[in-house]
């Protein structure tokens, strides 16, 4: 079923059923967002600007 057909049929449903469909869709969206893990660069601002990649690698090796 395409989106247009769904929307036309949706409009003819009772308001209570429409609300249930909307609630279900919102719940599914919430679940899919929880499953997605987005890599964040929040830590980037904590790095010293004068450190090179090589210096950071040496520090990382010393922490192991």
- Alpha carbon 8 to its chain centroid, in Å, reads 30
- Alpha-carbon torsion angle 47, 48, 50, 56, nearest 10: -50
pLDDT of residue 12: 96
**Tokens describing residue 14:** 């009772």
Q: Is residue 10 within 8 Å of 21, Cβ to Cβ?
A: yes
Alpha helices in the chain (DSSP H): 3-11, 15-35, 53-63
Q: List, for residues 9-60, the tens digit of each pLDDT value.
A: 999 999 999 999 999 999 998 888 776 667 777 777 776 766 778 888 888 8
pTM score, two decimals? 0.51
* Number of Cα atoms under 13 Å in the Cβ half of residue 60: 7
């Amino acid at each position: 079923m395409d989106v247009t057909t769904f929307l036309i049929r949706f409009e003819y449903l009772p308001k209570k059923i429409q609300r249930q469909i909307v609630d279900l869709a919102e719940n599914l969206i919430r679940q899919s967002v929880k499953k997605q893990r987005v890599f964040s660069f929040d830590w980037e601002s904590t790095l010293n600007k004068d450190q090179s990649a090589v210096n950071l690698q040496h520090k990382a090796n010393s922490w192991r």
